[in-house]
Structures are given as C-alpha cells and as structure tokens.
Amino acid sequence: MSDISIAFLILVAANLTIKFWLNRRQAAQVKQHAAQVPARFAAVITLEAHQKAAAYTRAKIRLSQISLVIDTAWLLLLTLGGGINLIYGVATALAGNESTLITGLVFLISLGILSGIVDLPVSIYRQFGLEARFGFNRMTPALFIIDLLRNALVSLIIALPLLALILWLLDLATPMSWLWAWLGWMVFNALLLFIYPVVIAPLFNKFTPMPDSAHKQKLDALLQRCGFSAAGLFVMDGSRRSAHANAYFTGFGKHRRIVLFDTLISQLSPTQLEAVLAHEIGHYQRKHLQKRLVLMAAMSLALLWALFQLLHAPWFYSGLGVDSANPATALALFSMAMPLCLLPLTPLSNALSRKHEYEADAYAAQHSSAQELIDALITMYRENAATLTPDSLYSLWHDSHPPATLRSAHLAAQPGAHA
C-alpha cells in the first residue's frame, strides 16, 4: 500500500471519528437536558414538546451514525476496493467504440445511480420510519417513488450538458481549461437560479398565489414599507410531503418570488409571519445572497484549479486505487476526497451564515417586531421538534443558524423587544 493510500485511509478515519464524536456529544447533551425546559422557553414550550424534540434529535443522530458507516464503506469500496475500476470497465463496454467523453458520461451516470441505490434504504427509513414515528411524514409510498424518478430524470437532464462540457474542457488539457470549466459552471448556476422557480420547482410542488387574508394584508404592507418588490407571494403545498414548515425567496430582481409553506401559514399568526418575512427580506437587503455567491464562485474556482492540477498526477489515481486516469475518474475521485479535506472549514462557513442570520434578525426587528419574530421562532422550534439544547461543538459543525437560546437572546436585545 502506497503512502498516498495510507494518508487517504487516515483522512477517512479522522473524518469518521470526528463526526461520530460530534454526534455522541450532541446525543449526550440533549439527553442530559431532556428533563427540563430551558428557563428562557419554559413559559411557552411544554415539557412534553421539549422531550419530543429530544427524542427526535437523538433518533436522527442514531440514523446519522448508520448513514456514516454506510457512506464510509461505500467510499472505500469505490476507491481502494476497486469499485471505480469495475464501474469504469462496465461503462467502457457499454460505450463500445464511442469517444472517451461518452464513456466518461456513462461512467459518471452509472456511479450516480449506484450511489443513489446505496442511499435508498436510509432515505426510505428516514421518511417512513423516523419521520412517521414523530408525526412529520405525510408522503405516500407512491409519491415517494414518483419523486425519486422525477428527481433522477431532472438531474439527468440538467447534469448531462454540464458534465459533458466539463469533461470536454478537461480532456483538452489546455493551460486555461480549468478557467473555462469554471466559467461554464458559473453560467450553469446563474441559469439554474432563473429556471428553478418557474420550471423545476413546479414539477414537485404546487405554487398558488397567496389568497387575500389577514396574513397577506400584513405581508403586502411590509413589502411596501420596506420598498421591496417581488413577482408575487406564493403558497407551496409542503403539507403533501411533511408537517415541517419553512419559507424562502427564490429568483433575482423582478423575478423574485416569496414562497411560504402552507404549514407555516397555518402555524403562525399574521404578525408572526410578517416578522419571518421581514427576516427573509433582511437577507436580500443586506446582500447576503450576493456575498454567498461570490464566496461560492471563489471556492469553485480554487477547486477546479486543484482538480486540473491532479488531472495528470499518476499518484492521485494509484493512491486511491484507480487504474484509469482520465477526466471522468478524476472528477469522481475529486468529488469523493474533497469533502474529507474541507471538513475543518465547515465551522467557518457556518459562522458566516450565523452572522448573516443575526443581521437579518436585526433588520426584521427594525421593520416589524423583534418579539413577534421570537414568538414565531419558538413556534417553529416547537412544531418542527427542534432541540433547544444543542451541544456547542456539534452546532458549530452542523448548524448554519444560531442555536435557539443565542438567537432569542440576540433578538430580545434589539430595540422594541420585550422578551
């Protein structure tokens, strides 16, 4: 076994150990505080709801542990176990005398399908076991299968042209191939931002203009007060699949859409929903999306450059157990190894996201009510069975939003709050 193979095994083991350790910390922390609701929430969260959240959190962690083992075993089977060699050999036979590009596409599609099949048992249990046990699942087996097939078809249609372009550019191996590949990736993402809300999302959910109501009147008044224009307020039938609630913005400029889950509207009062929307507007007004896109662009530029450097490095393939050195296997190996190397950066990404959440909360407090946003968040914590007592280190690695206690305290300190 080469030094690179040993280094790869150490990296895999380190990642698995860290994730297991963080999961165990989270489970222990939640269990330790399950008997008592935190003082800040004691008046509005019942002990029964708090203990349900604790049980739900620990059940998700147990499933996460199983998923980690499966994912790690699959990674090792594909790399040092020779799985990529086998799949590429089959792809070569299927493609026949076609070009390396066709072989590469067949290989990557086959790899994606097989990886989806490996993930399928956990996904089925998560939906129909764990989520159903805690009263969140509303998806039927038929809808699950339809979603699965529809996702696969949409992913294939979207991914094929992009993968073909990237493989072709990498195969050219000119000094600037990586830069052209990055430009193609950025154009693809820009197009996706525009077509997702009007083409892709409606394939999975029904979006209807928000009917006139006390909720809509509050939201319309807020939009006018903030000088914020949007293509419309839409209600999404999220209750078809889950009892969980959410809201989000999508699109750019005059094509911006505000999407509210029907479950969210049923859970929140008009003033609470107004505060939630003010928070989302805050993200736009503070240009958080643009900042994240710039960061993503810089990261993808660096990663594609790194991929190009490894493209003709024999040690990269042999060290990870792959015989065929070509753009398709390089892309597959890179996508598998990259998350292992980037794990230490996860807390930094989450820290930036939390900073943005605090800024959006401050904006919401200025243009609606800090107290109403606190009440809305507490309702969502309760209805989604989100733990109020996460482990601090686990939260740094896994939570893009501030923990409930810190977030409510920050909002309570805003002018006009009376928490």
Could you give the strand order of the β-sheet that contains 233-236, starting from the edge strand earlier in sequence?
Answer: 207-209, 233-236, 257-261, 247-250
Take residue 169 and report the two structure tokens written for it.
Answer: 């550019």
For residue 235, which phi and psi values (nearest 5 degrees)?
Answer: -105, 130
Q: Which of 147, 220, 262, 280 is catalytic?
A: 280
- Residue 106 CB neighbour total at 10 angstroms: 20
Take residue 166 and report the two structure tokens written for it.
Answer: 């990237």
* Bridge partners, 258 (sequence order): 233, 249
Distance CA 122, CA 364 (A): 38
Decide if 329 contacts 106 (C-beta within 8 A): no
Distance CA 119, CA 304 (A): 27
Burial 171-198 (b: 16+ CB within 10 A, else e): beeeeebbebbbebbeebeeeeeeeebe
Burial 349-378 (b: 16+ CB within 10 A, else e): ebeeebebbbbbbbbbbebbbbbbbbbbbb
Take residue 234 and report the two structure tokens written for it.
Answer: 């839409």
Q: Which residues are annotated as a binding site?
A: 279, 283, 357
Q: Which of 131, 361, 372, 391 is catalytic?
A: 361
Decide if 303 contacts 186 (C-beta within 8 A): no
- Residue 233 CB neighbour total at 10 angstroms: 19
372 catalytic, yes or no? no
Take residue 317 and report the two structure tokens written for it.
Answer: 């393939």
Decide if 41 contacts 388 (C-beta within 8 A): yes
Q: Which residues are annotated as a binding site for Zn(2+)?
A: 279, 283, 357
212 catalytic, yes or no? no
Catalytically active residues are: 280, 361
